[in-house]
Amino acid sequence: MVHDRSSALFERAQRVIPGGVNSPARAFRAVGREPVFIRNGEGCRIWDCDGNEYIDFVGSWGPLLLGHRHPVVVEALREVLDVGTSFGAPTEAEVELAELIAELVPSVETVRLVNSGTEATMSALRVARGFTGRDVTVKFVGNYHGHVDSLLVRAGSGLATLGISDSGGVPAAFAGTTLPLEFNDIGAVERAFDRRGNEIASVIVEPVAGNMGCVPPRPGFLQALRDLCTKHGAVLIFDEVMTGFRVALGGAQSLYGVMPDLTTLGKVIGSGLPVGAFGGRREIMERVAPLGAVYQAGTLSGNPLAVAGGLAALRHLRENPGIYDRLETAAARLQAGVVGAADAAGVEITSNRVGAMLTFFFTGQQVRCWEDAAACDTGAFAKYFREMLGRGIYLPCSQYEALFVATSHGNGDIDHAVACAADAFASMAR
Ligand code: HOZ
């Protein structure tokens, strides 16, 4: 595979963009090569600027449940171009999207649209503080909630990938409001509440962790968080930026039957366009300006393009509930195929999967928390990634990310990816 144009673009990019990328998570640094520059996508396929074709299992880091350029989304976006792309004023479509989110996400009574998952989590934390009159946030090691100052503490995703434990530039006072605990360790949360229960404003959690690779909650973990938050008057926040509308139509909260007080959503509610949302119990959300004193704002919030993309995709999901069975079947086929191929080649991997989000960890051990994930052989992962890329399979460029199956992946695409994995493992074992 030739990547000359990507290489040339990367050289240019590094002169004018820090590290040549607009987000460190796409820098390919942990996999020992330069990033490829993408030109276009269609269904489950993308093409780079050298014309190389890939089956895409990143899907813009999750939101493209329907694949690239799904006709219902494209048509909805075209209609917006005819009427205007930004007003900084209320529109009918944003009311419809808010109604749809409140209908589909069980714990959400009212919802505020923002521009990204980061804005959503930042705002949710602030509302929780305003509601409780407390300052401390409990978060989990290896969970990532966007680049909010106080949440860049022992975070997953790009920070885990690059080995940055806590971000520079965050005042110690901000980081000091965050209490990082091990994911899936309910004893640690109980002890924290015993010691500091009257200081804890919120517990924020990815109900299925996706930013240290896919790590499901242990049975009972989410319910125990719910019970502790209720007992101590803290706000439970589910960060469903990754799991929302993906692991089930109603997100992880409907899958596990545990209701948070607040939910954060991201790019999935725009079908990949820049948007996010935070919402939940009415009495908490009533603290948000202009009703309450917790300020949060944005000219582009509820932007017509993002809202139209999201409405089209979410309506399509609601009207076609069979999609989730199809995603489950396709992702299970990929999981079984890749695990079988690794076994056959004698390469040790462990897989975690919830619905159509999954990770193959290069370890023989179970992965239940950050400590487990951090023990994986990232060198082997990097080699696997390069082998797969060279065979036209585009995977997340870090052991600490999840891969995503879309409705556009047919059995043939999944089987081709499995065959490529078999070749990749064979070449790694040589
Ligand atoms: N949540 C995404 C990674 N898990 C974000 C990707 C990025 O930071 O660019």
CA atoms of 108 and 99, how far apart (whole Å): 10
Do 237 and 273 meet the contact criterion of CB atoms below 8 Å apart? Answer: no
18: preceding bond cis by omega (within 30 degrees): no
Residue 159 confidence (pLDDT): 87
Q: Which of 38, 113, 37, 57 is nearest to 416 (CA)?
A: 57
Please identify, by atom number, the ligand 1 atom nearest to the C-alpha of residue 241.
Answer: 1
CA atoms of 125 and 151, how far apart (whole Å): 10
Which residues have CB under 8 Å from 412's CB, separation 6+?
Answer: none
Residue 430 confidence (pLDDT): 80
Cα 232 to averaged position of ligand 1 atoms, centre (Å): 32
Q: Which of 243, 239, 241, 215 is nearest to 375 (CA)?
A: 215
Annotated catalytic residue: which of 56, 139, 256, 267? 267
pLDDT digits (tens, 9 = 90+) for 204-256: 999 999 999 999 999 999 999 999 999 999 999 999 999 999 999 999 999 99
Q: Are strands 200-205 and 235-239 parallel, antiparallel or unpaired?
A: parallel
Q: 3-state class of 32 per DSSP?
A: coil
- 4-69+322-429 architecture in CATH? Alpha-Beta Complex (3.90)
CA atoms of 207 and 356, how far apart (whole Å): 15
Do 392 and 38 meet the contact criterion of CB atoms below 8 Å apart? Answer: no
CA angle 138, 144, 148 (to 5 degrees): 75
Cα 24 to averaged position of ligand 1 atoms, centre (Å): 8
In this structure, what token pair is assigned to residue 273? 């366009």
Q: 3-state class of 355 per DSSP?
A: coil
Residues of the chain with CATH 3.40.640.10: 71-319
Q: Is 267 a catalytic residue?
A: yes
Q: Is 384 a catalytic residue?
A: no
Cα 20 to averaged position of ligand 1 atoms, centre (Å): 16
Please identify every stretch of the chain with a pLDDT value under 70, giving residue numbers as ranges. none
In this structure, what token pair is assigned to residue 311? 């409405």
* The one-letter amino acid at 353: R
Residues of the chain with CATH 3.90.1150.10: 4-69+322-429
CA atoms of 369 and 385, how far apart (whole Å): 22
Annotated catalytic residue: which of 48, 56, 139, 144? 144
290: preceding bond cis by omega (within 30 degrees): yes
164-199 burial: b if 16+ Cβ within 10 Å, else e? eeeeeebeeeebebbbbbbbbbbebbeebbeeebeb
pLDDT digits (tens, 9 = 90+) for 91-147: 999 999 999 999 999 999 999 999 999 999 999 999 999 999 999 999 999 999 999
Q: Which of 378, 424, 393 is nearest to 162 (CA)?
A: 378
Cα 157 to averaged position of ligand 1 atoms, centre (Å): 6
CA atoms of 422 and 417, how far apart (whole Å): 9
Residue 28 confidence (pLDDT): 96
Q: Which of 117, 92, 109 is nearest to 308 (CA)?
A: 92
Residues with C-beta less than 6 Å from any ligand 1 atom = 23, 25-26, 61, 157-158, 211, 401
Cα 55 to averaged position of ligand 1 atoms, centre (Å): 19
The hierarchical CATH code for the domain 71-319 is: 3.40.640.10
CA atoms of 164 and 158, how far apart (whole Å): 8
pTM beyond 0.75: the answer is yes
Which of 17, 21, 23 to mutate for ligand 1's pocket (most ligand atoms within 8 Å of CB)? 23
Q: Give, using CA atoms, the residue closest to atom 1 of ligand 1.
A: 61
Residue 164 confidence (pLDDT): 84
Q: Which of 170, 127, 124, 128 is nearest to 147 (CA)?
A: 170
| Bridge partners for 277 per DSSP | 113, 265
In this structure, what token pair is assigned to residue 219? 């049975």
Which of 157, 161, 167 to mutate for ligand 1's pocket (most ligand atoms within 8 Å of CB)? 157
